[in-house]
Structure 1
């Protein structure tokens, strides 16, 4: 298993995003409860987010993230996924 740093850069009407947010949060909650999502949260005043995942491969993670309601609704304009190997500290 590898760690991956994912950035979400939001691109959507805030009111429309607010309508979909509960299903997006539930999607992320289920990934966190399964252990795949290690930590996540908003960044840059809420215009983006940083998410750290544990997955077998980038391709597997991308397939999973394609099911995020924010992604399917078109609210994520950019979503870089990078394998990440931290040198210091840990994510428990």
Structure 2
């Protein structure tokens, strides 16, 4: 049955409260006795548990994975992969500057700026692709601009796009690194 509540202000009793004069949110003993009251309490507890579980999952997941775009402790400081594709307009110029280009690619590999490179097969003109590691698009553009092929006018139809390799061998460089998304697992 409904019983009056005793209110304490500054740790002093203030007397009884008339249940009909008190908003229903303050009258807890009656709320517990009704189905609606029990349902509301159950929903509140469920919401609190849901928030707690969500927080735990998020924080546990954050500790077991890293995101190169947001995690300052990742092995490389917020690096992104870029794909550069281009055409070689002059076969003779291509051959003339090939050695300097290969030496430049070896330097990029050593510096950790190149993940893969090679010609495209079956195209009418000589074309190639570079998978670059850069902090931003400007740096990726500069890497291509410093290539002896570009310096000597041997690159045309250049495109540079950011790449997020979620699945496969480059997954560790993606925005969602997860060993389960690599070929070894």
Normalising by structure 1, we get a TM-score of 0.89
Q: Deviations over 1:6-54 (max 9, x none)?
A: 1021111x12221111001101110011111001110034710111111
From 151, 161, 164, the equivalent of 1:72 is 151
Q: Deviations over 1:61-82 (max 9, x none)?
A: 1112111111011111121000
From 95, 114, 118, the equivalent of 1:37 is 114
CA distance in structure 2 between the partners assigned to 1:78 and 1:27 by the alignment: 20
Normalising by structure 2, we get a TM-score of 0.46
Structure 2 partner of 1:48: 127
From 83, 99, 108, the equivalent of 1:5 is 83
CA distance in structure 1 between the partners assigned to 2:134 and 2:93 by the alignment: 30
Structure 1 residues without counterparts, runs of 5 or longer: none
Shift >3 Å, 4+ stretches: none
Structure 2 residues without counterparts, runs of 5 or longer: 1-78, 173-185
Structure 2 partner of 1:19: 96
Question: Matched residue of 1:27: which SS?
Answer: helix
Asked whether the equivalents of residues 83 and 163 of structure 2 are also in contact (C-alpha less than 8 Å), the reply is yes
CA distance in structure 1 between the partners assigned to 2:86 and 2:112 by the alignment: 20
Cα shift at 1:90? 2.4
Computing the radius of gyration from Cα coordinates, the structure with the larger value is: 2
CA distance in structure 2 between the partners assigned to 1:84 and 1:15 by the alignment: 32
- Structure having the larger proportion of residues in strand: 1
